[in-house]
Amino acid sequence: MSDALPLPLQFTWLIPVYGFSGMLLSLPWAMGWIKRNGPRPAAYLNLLVTLLAVIHGSLVIREVVQIGPQHLDFAWFQAADLDLRIGFDLSLTNLAALELVTTMSLVCQVFALGYLDKEWSLARFYALVGFFEGAMSGVVMSSNLFISYFLLEMLTLSTYLLVGFWYAQPLVVTAARDAFLTKRVGDVLLLMGVVALSAMAGSMEFNDLYAWAGEAREQQLISPLAGTLLGIALIAGPMGKCAQFPMHLWLDEAMEGPNPASILRNSVVVTCGAIVLLKLMPIVALSPSATTVLLAVGAISAIGGALVAIAQVDLKRAFSYSTTSYLGLVFIAIALQKPGIALLFLFAHGLARALQFMSVGSIIATTNCQDLTELGGLGSRMPATSLAFLVGGAGLVGLLPLGCFWCYGLMVNNLLSESPLFAAVFLLTNLLTAANVVRVFRSVFLGRVMPKTRRTPEVIWWMALPMVSLAVIVLLLPLIMQRIDPVPGIASFPLPVALAVAGSGAAGVLIGCLLPQDQFWSRSSQPGLRVVQDLLASDFYTPVIYRSTIVNLVAGMARATRWFDLNVVKGLVDGVGRLSLATAEGLKLSVSGQLQSYVLTLIVAIVLLLGALQWIRLGF
């Protein structure tokens, strides 16, 4: 690092530290050491440090625009041939992602002030969000696989604690467990990849790894099998983070956590996972089979997630599956080596999804209900919320010219020639998503007023302000995207493609309008349809499949080990003990008392011993 760098750049490493320091600052309240005055000061302190992170980030962006991308590098740990470093790449893309993370964190923290108004452990929430934010802002800037892994694992930990925030509830307990273990499986696989790469390539910097991957490809350094295994190990981590099939289960269950954390999880956490995958892609691309796996995972997640979302009756789950589906689309874009579009997609999706989840949070905070069959007629009573919901939905669906529309257009245009099948996947996902958004909108905001929606005032301004501000940002998103990606421009696709995208969106809206809705008959009465509906509503029975395969396998092995330990190992030990006692008892009786017999025994023993020793000395 040269001293010539401007001050904000030199201290960019502080940005993740702000988040972590927010956690430390909240600890006195979170641990109950300060009980007077309530936990609010912790929240204010966290807001302050997050604001600092946002401001610092924008200063860094201003400098980088002027002097170009920079790289920060610090030594962390060296031993023998191992050199672990902390590296940050200050490119505009990374910094844009950083600003997305810190801004969303700020917005969510303001939102949480309203949402968790009377929560007694508010300080704990803010401590965890600070930790969360710190880890995420490190991940997006990291230029180094080791640090990316390091921080991704910290994200796993903080997700676990945030999902388990209301740990006294039984559903939360299982949700937190599944969130941790699912991600941990991905993380352990990723660790295998990281360790193997570290041993093979030496450096952990992404740029060096790309160089190594190029060499490996040219000189056939690794066998195809090793390459495939490596690729799959590297994919597994982001797959877990982005809730892709078959590791998607946790995101749906994670909806048991507090909503402000769900906002972050569905928008920026999945973005972090996808960004890590983006950085790993040149290495994954070493193996064509790994790329195929990635494509398959993406396509299955995109369509499967969108289908499952339509069958959900839980407000939050209906959209969390949609997150899985959109990240599936991003995975396809990454696998087909379209990093620019993937990033734009992540950006547009992150903002719109966050807005959608904020409006969902407002509904839940007002009605204390997230069951679609018990909601209805909120439209006129909560105008700001319904507006936010509409804008968020429109931002996600490719119909109106908001963020995701342009991404869909770019992507479909790119795919038409090389792989039309995936273009169809995109259009189908768009259609299903549109249908889902309209379906939920109808049942929540239109229709009859239900018992639970009778007294529903608009939310307080702690929640309304961030929601409306974000709605404005989502509306202005195409302009921002135009500025981020001026060449070739976000509108660089022909009219027929635009019409195809809009057409799929419109068809989805139509289907959403026509879907039958009846609170009392939310499960279809026709047997054929009901089977399909049950299949989707219970997520292709994935939890059951998991329980009967992996969980059973591990539990069975654990039980078998325990049996072996108790009956074979312990049994053997105890048996030997008993045997020696018994022989001692027996020997007691065979003692003759004659001196000669003792001497004889001694001599025999000595002869045997010496003979054995002599044999050993000659033998070897």
Partner 1 sequence: MLLSSLLLVPFLGTLALLLWPSSPSPQRLRLIAIAILSVQLLLSLVALGRFDVHQSGMQLVELQPWVPGIGLDYSLGIDGLSLPLVLINAALSLVAAVITRDIDKRPRIYFAMLLLISGAVNGAFLAQNLLLFFLFYELELIPLWLLISVWGGTNRTYAATKFLIFTAISGMLILGAFLGLALLTGSVDFSLTPVLSERLSMGGQLLLLGALLIGFGIKIPLVPLHNWLPDAHTQASTPVSVLLAGVLLKLGTYGLLRFGLGLFPEAWAKLAPALAIWAAISVLYGSLAAIAQTDMKRMVAYSSVGHMGYVLLAAAANTPVSLLGAVFQMVSHGLISALLFLLVGIVYRKTGTRDLEVLRGLLNPEKGLPFTGSLMIVGVMASAGLPGMAGFISEFLVFRGSITEFPVATLLSMVGSGLTAVYFLLLVNRAFFGRLAITPTTGDALVDTRLDVRLAPVAPRETIPAIALVAAVVVLGLLPSSLSRLSEVATTTMASASQLSSGLASGLASAVSAGGVG
**Binding footprint of partner 1 on the chain (CB under 8 A):** 31-32, 76-82, 120-121, 149-151, 153-154, 156-157, 161, 164, 167-168, 170, 172-173, 176-177, 180-181, 184-185, 188, 191-192, 195-196, 198-199, 554-555, 557-562, 565, 569-570, 573, 577, 613, 616-617, 619-620
Cβ contacts of 16 within 8 Å, gap of 6 or more = 134, 135, 137, 138, 141, 151
Shortest Å, Cβ 246 to partner 1: 16
- H/E element holding 310? helix 288-310
Residue (145 or 437) nearer to partner 1, CB: 145
Shortest distance, CB of residue 88 to partner 1, whole angstroms? Answer: 17
Helices marked H in 116-223? 122-141, 145-163, 170-201, 206-219
- Do residues 346 and 330 lie in contact, with contact meaning Cβ atoms separated by under 8 Å? yes
Structure tokens at 35: 């009980």
d(CA 498, CA 363): 33
Based on CB atoms, which residue is closest to partner 1, 24 or 460?
Answer: 24
Question: 549: how many CB neighbours lie within 10 A of its CB?
Answer: 10
Element (H, E) at 74: strand 70-79
C-alpha Rg value of the chain to the nearest Å: 30
Of 118 and 617, nearer to partner 1 (C-beta) is 617
Spatial distance between the Cα atoms of 471 and 392, rounded to a whole number of angstroms: 7
The 10 Å Cβ neighbour count of residue 496 is 12
384, 458 contact by CB (below 8 A) = yes
- Going by C-beta distance under 8 Å and a sequence separation of 6 or more, which residues neighbour residue 388? 355, 358, 359, 362, 467, 468, 470, 471
To partner 1, the closest distance from the beta carbon of 245 in angstroms equals 20
Question: Which C-beta is closer to partner 1: that of 188 or that of 480?
Answer: 188
The answer to whether residues 397 and 433 touch, using CB atoms and an 8 Å cutoff, is yes
Name the minimum Å distance from CB 180 to partner 1: 6
Peptide bond into 451 cis (omega under 30): no
Which residue, 20 or 357, is less far from partner 1 as judged by CB?
A: 20
Of residues 178 and 539, the one with the C-beta less far from partner 1 = 178
Residue type at 132 in one-letter notation? F
Nearer residue to partner 1 within complex by CB, 149 or 422: 149
Nearer to partner 1, 202 or 340 (CB): 202
Tell the smallest beta-carbon distance from residue 82 to partner 1 (Å): 5
Burial of 602 (0-12, 13-18, 19+ CB in 10 A): exposed
DSSP 448: P
| Cβ(306)–Cβ(432) below 8 Å | yes
Report the nearest approach of partner 1 to the CB of residue 591 (Å): 23
**Least distance from C-beta 276 to partner 1, angstroms?**
14
Please, what is the Cα angle at 309 between 420 and 433, to 5 degrees? Answer: 45
> Considering beta carbons, is residue 172 or 330 the nearer one to partner 1?
172
Q: Which is nearer to partner 1, 204 or 427 (CB)?
A: 204
Q: How far is the CB of 240 from partner 1 (least distance, A)?
A: 12
CA 91/CA 68 separation, integer angstroms? 8
Supply the minimum distance, in Å, between the C-beta of residue 604 and partner 1: 21
Minimum Å gap between C-beta 529 and partner 1 is 36
Supply angle C-alpha 271, 275, 279, rounded to 5: 170
d(CA 357, CA 258): 11
Q: CB of 119: closest distance to partner 1 in angstroms?
A: 12
Distance CA 153, CA 45 (A): 25
Q: Which residues contact 383 (CB under 8 A, 6 or more apart)?
A: 458
Q: What is the DSSP string of 359-425?
A: HHHHHHHHHS--BGGG----TTT-HHHHHHHHHHHHHHSSSSSSHHHHHHHHHHHHHHHH-HHHHHH
> C-beta of 602: minimal distance to partner 1 in Å?
20
CB of 565 to partner 1, least distance (A): 5
Residue 7 or residue 616: which is nearer to partner 1 going by CB?
A: 616
**In angstroms, what is the minimal distance from the CB of 109 to partner 1?**
22
The residue (of 185 and 296) whose beta carbon lies closer to partner 1 is 185
Distance of closest approach, residue 317 Cβ to partner 1, in angstroms: 21
Cα separation, 372 vs 341, in Å, equals: 34
Q: Give whichever of 24 and 465 is closer to partner 1, judged by the CB atom.
A: 24
520/620 with CB nearer partner 1: 620
Place of tokens 């396998």: 553
DSSP 550: I
Nearest to partner 1 of 14, 557 (CB atom): 557
